[in-house]
Amino acid sequence: MADERGDDVLQLWQSQETEGFRMTPEQIHQRTEEMEQKLRRRWRSGYLVCGSLVAFFTLWLVASNDPIQRLGAVLSILGLAYMAWQIRQNRWRNPPPGDIGSTASGDFLRTELARQRDFHRGRTFWTRMLCFVPGPLVFFLGFARAQPHLVTIIRLEAITFLLLVIAAVPLNHWLAGKYQRQIDQLDRLQREP
Amino acid sequence: MAQDQLYEQAAAELGPALERLARSYEADPEKRRDLLQEIHLATWRSFAGFEQQCSLRTWVYRVAHNVAASHVIRHRRANARPLVSLDEIESLPDSGDTEAEVGRQQTVERLHTFIQQLNPLERQVILLYLEGMDAASIGEIVGISSGNAATRVHRIKKILAGRFRTGGRDGR
């Protein structure tokens, strides 16, 4: 009885109306080009933000006479460059074309989840923080030394920056935990029926 | 065989199954269209590395499920309802009236909604089962033992039989 009903559902599923979608070689090439353009646009926006910040710190590197502020500017530029490189490494990955078909979907999913998890925890996360955080802090310190009359505003900016950094720790920890729970569930499902 | 020819063969043989798969992974019609295009594109690209290690069908299903799973990871909102397992879904209240004779279209809609709630691995198993694949082939595609796949298929059959009435073979 249950089997018959199951077969009914199977038949119903397979008899759904479909559009007969397929792509011609021209459409494939066009779509590939569109996707690459979209990706390039996304990266251009990211580079624009990163470039504006680098330009801002470069300006201070040239304009400031305070050595601590200049050191902060250099550290900030290096930190931003490292962070941009890390994000690019994580998001823009091109595995060999055959990999996607030769990897069992459970294993593929696990790799994807582990990659996302590792971005938000461990060495990847802490090196990102360690490389990015000191630069602006040194910069604020040098700025306050060079412009004592602006110390209240600078302190406020530094505190805001620190609060954002502090908030990033539990947020990333939570995201990593979310991915880890999905990995655990996947492992359980793969292991036992 | 050339990449284009392989793609042609795959699209002819498995095109409808890929459409059904995209529908079960993405409820939004516009995003679903993008996902379907992405699956076709990835399939075409993947044939550059296809060396007949497995059947064309196994290869294409792996590509499709891998692309779809990445799509789910990328687009799933942080506050979205958590995906559940077959065990958990069995204990959830059914939103539809299982005793009523509902139309075919309605049943299909409910089936898609039901599948969209499942975690990716069990979603893959149920979709492959619905496409008529046996436990060994499901295991090969998903990367679980055939015994594990057979147990899950058995549970799926039980749940489907309990929840979905199609109104007879003709849907009337």
Tell me if A105 and B69 make a contact (CB, 8 A cut-off). Answer: yes
Residues of chain A with pLDDT under 70: 1-6, 91-98, 193
Asked if residue B55 has pLDDT above 50, the reply is yes
Which H helix or E strand runs over B164? none
Residue of B33, B71, B130 to mutate, interface with A, max A Cβ within 10 Å: B130
Rounded to 5°, the CA angle B3-B7-B13 comes to 150
B111 in Cβ contact with B166 (< 8 Å):
no
What residues 52-111 of chain A have any CB closer than 8 A to a CB of chain B? 96-109
What value does the mean pLDDT of chain B take?
83
Q: What is the mean pLDDT of residues B94-99?
A: 52
**pLDDT of amino acid B170:** 39
Q: A7-16, A175-184, B44-53, B73-82: which range is least confident on average?
A: B73-82
Q: How far is B26 from chain A (nearest CA, A)?
A: 15
**pLDDT of amino acid A141:** 95
Q: What percent of chain B has pLDDT over 90?
A: 44
Query: Residue B85 CA to chain centroid, in angstroms?
Result: 15
Tell me if A21 and B19 make a contact (CB, 8 A cut-off). Answer: yes
Token code pair at residue A152:
């209240």
Which residues, at least 6 apart from A82, have a Cβ–Cβ distance to it below 8 Å? Answer: A127, A128, A131, A132
Chain A residue with Cα closest to B17? A14
Separation CA B8–CA A152 (nearest Å): 68
Asked if residue B26 has pLDDT above 60, the reply is yes
Q: How far is B62 from chain A (nearest CA, A)?
A: 5
* Each residue's pLDDT tens digit, B135-163: 999 999 999 999 999 998 888 888 887 77
Q: What is the pTM of this model?
A: 0.77
Asked if residue B60 has pLDDT above 70, the reply is yes
Q: What was the ipTM of the complex prediction?
A: 0.78
Residue of B142, B155, B165 to mutate, interface with A, max A Cβ within 10 Å: B142
Q: What is the mean pLDDT of residues B115-132?
A: 90
**pLDDT of amino acid B99:** 46
Separation CA B55–CA A155 (nearest Å): 65
**pLDDT of amino acid A69:** 94
Separation CA A169–CA A134 (nearest Å): 15
Asked if residue B98 has pLDDT above 60, the reply is no
Residue (of B104, B4, B141, B155) closest to A23 by Cα position: B4
Tell me if A16 and B108 make a contact (CB, 8 A cut-off). Answer: yes
Separation CA A49–CA B136 (nearest Å): 50
Asked if residue B101 has pLDDT above 60, the reply is no
Which H helix or E strand runs over B145? none
